Chains A and B, each alone.
Chain A
Amino acid sequence: MNEQLLGIENVLFTVAMLLYFASMIGFFIFIAVKKKKAASVSYIIMAAGFVLHTAALVIREIGAGRLPMTNRYEFATCFAWGLALVCLIFMRKYSVDILGAFAAPVIFLVIGYAAMQSKDVHELMPSLRSNWLGFHVSTAIISYGAFGISFALALMFLLRDRISEGSFFDRHIPSKEKLDLIGYRAVALGILFLTFCIISGAIWAEQAWGSYWSWDPKETWSLITWLIYAVYLHQRIRKGWKGKSAAIFAAVGFICVLFTYVGVNTFLPGVHSYA
């Protein structure tokens, strides 16, 4: 690893983290002062953080001579990047400014977790030297990002019931129907990419270990996450389940995502312990 590039990456990562933090504060100010301008500025700050975050990842990739997706720090920073990407896209696509107030804390928590990990660059172990690495981890990042946003939308949905008519939240949080639909879109994106992730991981595992499925804890919890979101998708089209129940399932699904990511690495070591 080029030490100079590592230094630049470190600066960019830190500035990106501060920008995400500033964006989170900006969205809180938006709620406090009730000015749309604050949300617009916060969005721009988050976008700026995302650009610098992307630059940090690219520089780390150049410096390390490999994709920055192979240890706890690298996956955590990529996870935060995926969350920011999906958040920015969904805010713009569905014109939901207030989503930032719910998603930015999640992004900041994940990038904060990344900051607490060792940033040392290690050489790739033989099993990670595969063309499948980039595809497998990229799909996990997008999937986790989408599920994170569906979690934020689920929280908004659950809050929607408790707000009084004509209030600031009533004006800025979309209708339940729209939240349900956007949440569904986020889950659809997440489960599609999670399926890509599981299948590419299976193909890779077959090449590396000779077994495409071996009930490793990370594999098993990815399947559990997939099953929970599959229940969400089915429940959502059943009478009486669309809405609050679906939102609760989306929130539970993201708890499974977090356990798959942090819990499995901490409590259930297996062949994915490096991630």
Chain B
Amino acid sequence: MNLKKIRNFLGSMKFAIILLLVLAAACIAGSLITQGKEYSFYVSRYGERVSGAILALRLDDVFHSVWFIVITVFLCVNLTFCNLIRLPRLIRRTKEAENMRAKAGVWGAWVCHLGILILIIGFGLGQIFKSEYTVYGVPGDMKPLGDTGIVVTIEDFRTDKRENGSVIQYTTDVTVRNLASGTDAEGSVSVNQPASLFGYKFFQNSTGWAADMHIAKDGGEIQKETVCAGDYVAFLDKPDLVVSFNRFYPDYDPENAMAVRTDTDEITNPAYLYTAYYQGQFLGMNALLESEELTIDEYTVTFSDPQPYTLLQVKRDPFAYLALIGGLVTLTGLILAFYVKPQGVQEKKEKEESGDE
């Protein structure tokens, strides 16, 4: 097989169809098989033999697997060669076309292919070069943004509600300090209304409950931490002892203690679900009312001051614009291909152009 034949195959429609079908099959596998779980999860669901195959083929992480990326790269190669092979013919046909509409219409499929290529490249570069951080806390918290030299202060977090209690909007006010330049920027972040500060986009991602955890020894408080649901706190003078704050129940129903639950979102009978560990070993788990305390040896643990915390997603994707351009170019190509180019002419010419028939 000479180079021209290889080039023709790589740019052929037959190869494109094979790639599209394989990609579709990969996507089906990636959506039907739960992604990113431990081996034990797959064993419990599919048995050992199937689980071994799932992990060996990386079907547990299809969209980041090498083979999926290779198929996508081949699709890019196919689109590139296809467009390069067709380019001289399209230029000739454009010159031959009688009017502007016909000239533009000739380029539909070519522009569509170019758009998809730009989109994939933009997405791929974004996956490599984007940076993502999560910042969560309550008003007053100051959190560093990884090692970027940026510090985020949560100034305020509010939840706008309707009369029936349903949520209209979550809003977090932040001040962002760039340590390198010593400058500050303020912003307000809501769902669907991200803020752009120092080149990073801040998104209102989610919320939950936080509370103050008090650790006392011999009657005196030795440690106080503001914890968000899911946080673990190691005792300062006994680090092997850890208490996690699992969940908050604003309106705890003591009549239904076997199935811990909350009746409403109003804070009328607050309870805090905790788990205690010593040297990694499970000690106990229970719901603690505000008036109650957890005693472990000489220590006592209490919770107070429940308040909502905010979770912000912070992201910088320098190539997101490329993906957007790719999408818009693809759309332009489709419009040109379907509605500008006369159908009869299109079919005839496409037939002539498909060299792999």
Complex Cα gap A268–B27 (Å) = 13
Contacts of A238 in B (CB 8 A): 13-14, 17, 354, 356-357
Interface of chain A: mostly helix, strand, loop or mixed: helix
With A192-B334, A223-B27, A227-B27 as known contacts, state yes or no: A210 contacts B201, CB within 8 Å: yes
Whether A126 lies near B331 (C-beta < 8 A) is no
Tell whether, in the assembled complex, residue B31 and residue A231 are in contact, meaning their CB atoms are under 8 Å apart: no
Q: Which residues of B contact A126 (CB under 8 A)?
A: 167-170, 190-192, 204
A19 CB to nearest chain B CB (Å): 32
* Interface residue count on the B side (C-beta < 8 Å): 53
B28 within 8 A of A: yes
Are A210 and B170 interface neighbours, CB within 8 A? no
Identify which of A85-93, A101-109, A211-219 touches chain B: A211-219
B343 touches A181 (CB 8 A): yes
B194 contacts the other chain (Cβ, under 8 Å)?
A: yes
Contacts beyond the supplied A210-B315, A230-B20: 6 A-B pairs with Cβ under 8 Å: A129-B192, A192-B334, A206-B320, A211-B315, A212-B320, A268-B32
Whole-angstrom distance between the alpha carbons of A213 and B40 in the complex? 28
**Docked-complex contact A208 and B192, CB < 8 angstroms:** yes
Interface size on A (CB < 8 Å)? 46
**B299 → chain A closest CB, angstroms:** 40
B328 near A237 (CB under 8 angstroms)? no
For residue A37, CB closer than 8 A to chain B, the reply is no
Asked if A237 and B347 sit within 8 Å, CB to CB, the answer is yes
Tell me, yes or no, whether A203 is within 8 Å of chain B by CB.
yes
Residues in chain B near residue A268, CB distance under 8 A: 31-32
- A→B interface (CB under 8 Å): 122-123, 125-127, 129-130, 181, 184-185, 188-189, 191-192, 195-196, 198-199, 202-204, 206-213, 215, 217, 220-221, 223-224, 227-228, 230-231, 234-235, 237-239, 264, 268
A-B pairs with the 9 shortest C-beta distances? A210-B203, A126-B191, A239-B357, A199-B327, A188-B338, A227-B24, A210-B313, A237-B350, A123-B166
Beta-carbon contact of B313 and A209 below 8 Å? yes
Question: Min CB distance, B326 to chain A, in Å?
Answer: 9
Q: Which residues of A lie under 8 Å from residue B201 when comparing CB positions?
A: 210
Tell me, yes or no, whether B121 is within 8 Å of chain A by CB: no
Contact (A123, B164) CB under 8 Å given A181-B343, A192-B338, A238-B357: yes
CB-nearest residue of chain A relative to B116?
Answer: A230
Question: Interface code B302-343, partner A: CB below 8 Å = 1, 0 otherwise?
Answer: 000000000001110000100110011011001100100001
Known: A209-B205, A220-B31, A237-B351. A196 touches B331 (CB 8 A): yes
Q: Are A227 and B31 in contact, with the CB atoms below 8 A? A: no
Given known A129-B169, A213-B123, contact A231–B20 (CB-CB < 8 A): yes
Residues of A within 8 A of B166 (CB): 122-123, 125
Expressed in whole angstroms, the Cα–Cα distance for A195 and B334 within the complex equals 9
Return the CB mask of B40-69 against A: 1 if under 8 Å, else 0.
000000000000000000000001000000
Instruction: Report the bound CA distance from A202 to B132 in whole Å.
Output: 18
B208 at the interface (CB under 8 A from A): no
